[in-house]
Structure 1
Amino acid sequence: MDQGNTAFLLIMAALVLLMTPGLAFFYGGLVKAKSVISMMMMSFGAIGLIGVLWVLYGYAIAFPGAEGLVAPWSIDWSAIGLTSLLEVPEDAAFPPLAFVAFQATFAIITVALISGAIADRAKFGAWMIFAAIWATIVYFPVASWVFNFGLADDGSFAYGGWTTFGMQEAFGVGVIDFAGGTAVHINAGAAALALALVLGKRVGFSKGAHVPHNPPFVLLGAGLLWFGWFGFNSGSELAADGTAALAWVNTLAAPAAALLAWLLVEKLKDGKPTSVGAASGAVAGLVAITPACASLTPGWAIVLGLVAGAVCALAIDLKFKFGFDDSLDVVGIHLVGGLIGTLYLGFFANGTGLIYSGDPTQLMVQAIAAGAVLLYSFVLAFGIGWVIEKTIGFRVKNEDEIAGIDTAVHGEDAYKLETV
């Protein structure tokens, strides 16, 4: 066993886990002061819930091994509860549980991302029910489509999900999604759009009606996300090598460029660059580079960041044009950014992209995978959310929403003014 790679993978897993508390600060700063506890609790609730489900059966669904090729819904029953993974094979690069830990953090952050679309108006209990069902029937299977693959000694696919092995068999190239542009960001963004439609608009929803209550929280959250994202992307190589180093550099370059592009769009459109715009731009660049971080030269990573920052800065206004209330721009940043990063690879992926090969096949398979994940997640998320809303209710009362839901839902206030 390679102790260096084991240490590397465990450290990367810890970095990715930190992203969810970072997301809690990022989202918490964007909502009003009387909803910040509710917002942050949805992220922390995801840590507790998905952490348990992953150990119990999530990993067994997401990584059924070669059985996933025969039946995508199959479960590795021996991995239920992870007891079969306690022993370390002599030729293993790292303990199986190190990989389990790393992938657990991906499941957690993906679920938490969705919560930003329903800020200020969701019941915590209903959210937890949704999260459990969505993770079980959407995230865990989609993770298997994208991340469950094995390689033969010659480096070719030995087995895998349909987006990797299946596409390779059918078209000669598999989908490139190094760290989760489809499985994480398109998946969460599509579910966020579905829930925004199910819950409807916030009271008084209009452009400029809801402003962030704490921009420093937003910047702190973005900083923690960016820090953790180095684990997210570099760690997906599962080894401390040159590919991990390339992913690290691109995880610096793309969001840095996206930050600048977002600020430029703000300056041209609204006259002032904002701190929230800087944070949002960085996150948009991080989202876009996620699938592409190991398949682009740093120069093309900068171009991707510029495109993602500018497009996402404009895309967040789509909710006003089309009338859906995506509270914290999960659709505009994660769905749009994930689509940009996934499709960009069809043009600029090293070796197989259109500009290198002259062959549009890579672009085609990227589009097929992106569209399939988007549709699958949206339809099931909408159905789960609709059933919850029509039964126990997903949305709080209007009077609680207006007053701020922290007290009504959690019995706490984020800020108390003490008088002497």
Structure 2
Amino acid sequence: MNAEVLTPPPLTDPDALIADLGGRARGAAKRLAIATTAEKAAALRAAAGQLRTQAAKILGANARDMEAGHAGGLTAAMLDRLRLDEDRLSAIADAVDAVAALADPVGREIDRAVRPNGIELSRVRVPLGVVGIIYESRPNVTADAAALGLMSGNAVILRGGSEAVNSNRAIHAAFAAGLATSGLPADAVQLVPTQDRAAVGALLRAQGLVDIIIPRGGKGLVARVQDEARVPVLAHLDGINHLYIDGAADPAKALPLAVNAKMRRTGICGATETILIDRAYPAPLAIVDALVKAGCEVRGDKAVAALSPHVEPASAGDWDCEYLDAIVSIALVDGLSGALAHIDAHSSRHTDAIVTEDKAAADRFLSEVDSAIVMHNASTQFADGGEFGLGAEIGIATGRLHARGPVALEGLTTYKWLVRGSGQTRP
């Protein structure tokens, strides 16, 4: 089989295309809603097997995307998100297998009660239905979203970014090949076959066919989805994450945590973008020097800039910037209250962390910081569904409705009430 990915013809009727995909997805969703755990797990294991079997094709497709990305001037962070190699592809397949091994949320009873009149009430988890997922850069999202959608009983319609078009199509083809052997409908996982932006608009307008839209990408993508969507949206916003080093922090913990939180992988949404240091902390210069030595550009307020000639003055915009690069902004603050005020003004409510040995300070930080993930003495790079034991994730939701934090299987379900009576009539 030729590994070359064919380009579909120009889009002439986006609404008709999405109506066709949505109608087929709706039919598949009905079958998935009653599929057994064993059926879903077998389909995912078969898909993971095909990802491994077709590794050469997928890596070849990714090489074409990388070549186009270099030519198109993608940033280093975007190229890192886009790049696949044998290890990363193996990890993608392993993540699909991991989802197959997770507990199935569908049908799980949340709670049960008996009313005084003898009526029994229970709430059980059910799939959302048809989930539209619009994402950029990362081809692993194609497999992660397909796996999570399938295991949670949802049909998914995927629309990846143009920078990863070949990778996404190759991964989807491998996933579909595995699904074809399982007896579950192939329409359970569909990839929009065009990069025409008009198809995104049609997907956002697909009321009655799509139950929820999940955007995963930059500000521009999320803003467009929120502005144009006529179906509910589960938003994954910027990761403007903070690491606060308290005056009572242990320097032996604070220094490696600061370097890891910023520099382990700078292009992921869990990377720290701003470090706040208590003026009472004894070794702020060591933090700056360690980051500079690691290859990070440091932008600081006046107090931090005075510590080292390697610090560039921070602008007002730096405190609200998701760099996704080897750049960090650092400020000295007046204790925990100063840190909380800064975070409240600038955090995107994704992930914020404190480093301290003071339990009362840690408890106050965990209580008062209103973010989806709040940490104590841990790197913000742990903001990941896999690290939380959830398997793959669809994204990290920063809003308040339906799901918050890493969205995995349970986040892709809702619930319904079951009412069991014995002939009761209401007076």
What is the TM-score normalised by the length of structure 2? 0.27
> Which is bigger in relative contact order (C-alpha 8 A, separation at least 6)?
1
Q: Which has the higher helix share?
A: 1
Q: Which has the larger radius of gyration?
A: 2
TM norm structure 1: 0.28
